[in-house]
Amino acid sequence: MAEKVTPRSEDYAKWYTEVVQRAELADYAPVRGSMVIRPYGYALWENIQRGLDNMFKAIGVQNAYFPLLIPHSFIAKEAEHVAGFAPELVVVTHGGGKELEEPLVIRPTSETVMYSMYAQWIQSWRDLPLKINQWCNVVRWELRTRLFLRTLEFLWQEGHNAFATAEESEEDARRMLGVYQDFIENWTAIPVVAGKKTESQKFPGAVNTYTLEAMMGDRRALQCCTSHNLGQNFSKPFNVQYLDKSNQLQYVWQTSWGLSTRMVGAIVMAHGDDQGLSLPPRLAPTQVVIVPIWKSDAEKAQVLANAQQLVASLGKDLRHRLDNREEYSPGWKFNEWEMRGVPLRIEIGPRDVEKKQVVLVRRDTGEKTTVPQNGLQDKVVALLDEVQSNLYARAKAFLEENSHQLDSYADFKQVIEEKGGFIWAHWCGSSECEAKIKEETTATIRAIPFDHEGESGKCVYDGRPSRGRVVFAKAY
């Protein structure tokens, strides 16, 4: 193992790939474009799952599981949906040594299978709303891949709600985006810009797609999750109907919403530094690592005994780990745990045992403080809270520093080229301008912010009237 990772400033993409592997989050798998999520990375994902799952259940969503294989004809039922996913479908043509009568696709997303079942389960207005989520893998044949950010197979959750009215589904799509925003800002400590996707960027088959866009350390945008109002675009081809209170047959109004393991990549890129990961305490698999330090055997016995007491005093609510490996020096361990992003380190050596104190080191700032062993748990809990909020504050400041309000296209091009970041600019709403800007600058419209109609102006590209600013950026 090389000692240092490529500095972020030197080569961001390389830094990212090295950190992900060195921190043992993931590794490349035998098949091109696919990856193994290693125990440490999976532990992080499990914490994400736990946090989100509780939030979903609190608003009445139930978990279920739908099959991996989908009849090809299902995918084809919604015109935009097929068109959108056809290029990245993996199709199964053989089974049991025989060619199948109808090919099956491996789910790229589950709207179609799920709604074929919804059509059977939903009969009456009393069956609504129906809110089902599943945690699963999906497969999309991507041409260009990157650990966590884009792989052929990835893990996610996809929620699918059905309602009686258009108002409810629109409201639900927005509500679920709010749930994600709460989770992402308060758990992953990543600030986001919330808004709507443009026509060209919305989900194939959706009426509206809502998104949360975060800024990574290289100032590029990353879409963290999406929430779609599907309207009746799927209920019609799949015949998801109910009888309303006046005995009329109606099609349901639906939403779907998802967040993937891509979020792990977002955490790496939003908080990491040249030392490696820096994990938000609420999600870190290990929140506190205790590194004992000794010279003689006598000291070793004393230090370890004291360290064990401390571990016990930290209680069961904190995720902690005593690193008593003898084959590594303390300095080596410091670097190792910093690479893995453990938010807080406790150092305890002979001097500390004698003075009944320990040294606390924060991962986010590197700051060291010496504190008495008495009341350590409270101190640790408080410090973890501080790290959590500092990570968010720091990312928020970075997002603001790198957001620019621009009105001329010349400035737009220059800023995108030289500084990067988010550009808030006026846009007339035409797909042509959007496409031209993308072609000329590679920047895309990440989101049309919800409160964007506060200020009128002129389109940054063609000068036509605009009712508000939208967010442009180069994106992952």
- How far is residue 363's CA from residue 394's CA, in Å, rounded to a whole number? 13
* Between 5 and 240, CB nearer to RNA: 5
Examine residue 327 and tell whether it contacts RNA (CB under 7 A): yes
Binding mask 286-325 for RNA (x = CB under 7 A): -------xxx----x-------------------------
Is 414:433 a contact under the CB 8 Å cutoff?
Answer: no
- Buried b / exposed e across 297-312, counting CB within 10 Å, b at 16+? eeebebbbebbeebbe
* Cβ within 8 Å of residue 26, ≥6 positions away: 20, 35, 36, 37, 38, 41, 147, 148
Nearer to RNA, 225 or 470 (CB): 225
Report whether 37 contacts 137 (CB < 8 A): no
- Rounded distance, CA 376 to CA 241, Å? 59
189 Rama class: left (phi>0) / alpha (psi -120 to 50) / beta:
left
Residue closer to RNA, measured from CB, 26 or 423? 26
Does 326 bind RNA (CB under 7 A)? Our answer is yes
Residues 6+ apart with CB under 8 A from 118: 130, 160, 162, 238, 240, 252
Would you say 38 or 467 has its CB closer to RNA? 38
Closer to RNA by Cβ: residue 250 or 324? 324
Stretch that binds RNA, among 59-67, 111-119, 237-245, 255-263 (CB under 7 A): 255-263
Among 334, 392, 409, 472, binds RNA (CB under 7 A): 334
Closer to RNA by Cβ: residue 23 or 252: 23
List the x/- string, 340-359, binding to RNA by CB under 7 A.
-------xxxxxx------x
CB-CB contact of 415 with 441 (8 Å): no
Which residue among 97, 99, 120, 144 contacts RNA (CB under 7 A)? 144
Q: Are 452 and 469 in contact (CB under 8 A)?
A: yes
Of the candidate residues 186, 275, 302, 402, the single one contacting RNA (CB under 7 A): 275
3 scored as a contact of RNA (CB under 7 A): yes
Note if the bond before 103 is cis, omega within 30 degrees. no
Closer to RNA by Cβ: residue 166 or 301: 301
Binder of RNA out of 143, 249, 312, 410 (CB under 7 A): 143
Q: Which is nearer to RNA, 16 or 242 (CB)?
A: 16
**439-468 binders of RNA (CB under 7 A):** 442
**140 sits near RNA (criterion: CB under 7 A):** yes
Please list every residue from 183 through 222 that binds RNA, using CB under 7 A. 203
Between CA 49 and CA 255 the distance in angstroms is 20
With CB under 7 A as the contact rule, the residue among 28, 40, 125, 135 that binds RNA is: 28
Q: Which of 331, 375, 463, 465 binds RNA (CB under 7 A)?
A: 331
Number of residues that bind RNA (CB under 7 A): 61
Measured CA to CA in angstroms, residue 254 lies from 49, 78, 196, 235 at distances of 23, 14, 17, 8
We find the least distance from the C-beta atom of residue 164 to RNA, in angstroms, to be 28
Stretch that binds RNA, among 72-80, 143-151, 158-166, 171-179 (CB under 7 A): 143-151
Whichever of 73 and 369 has its CB closer to RNA, that residue is: 369
H or E element that contains 151: none
Residue 394 near RNA by CB under 7 A = no
Q: Which is nearer to RNA, 98 or 144 (CB)?
A: 144
Kindly state the helix (H) or strand (E) to which residue 458 belongs, with its residue range.
strand 457-458
Residue 436 or residue 458: which is nearer to RNA going by CB?
436
The kind and range of the H/E element at 115 are helix 111-121
User: Where are the alpha helices (H) located in 319-408, listed in sequence order?
Assistant: 330-339, 350-355, 376-401
> Measured from the CB of residue 355, what is the shortest distance to RNA in angstroms?
9
- Asked if residue 50 binds RNA (CB under 7 A), the reply is no
With CB under 7 A as the contact rule, the residue among 8, 38, 150, 174 that binds RNA is 150
Nearest-angstrom CA–CA distance, 328 and 111: 51
Determine how many CB atoms are found less than 10 A away from the CB of residue 247: 6
Please report how the helices 166-186 and 39-58 are oriented relative to each other, as an axis angle in degrees rounded to 10.
140
Please identify which residue in the block is written with the tokens 């504050």: 393
Q: Which residues bind RNA (CB under 7 A)?
A: 1-5, 13, 17, 28, 31-33, 87-88, 140, 142-146, 149-152, 154, 203, 223, 225-226, 258, 260-262, 275, 293-295, 300, 326-332, 334-336, 338-339, 347-352, 359, 361, 366, 368, 442, 475
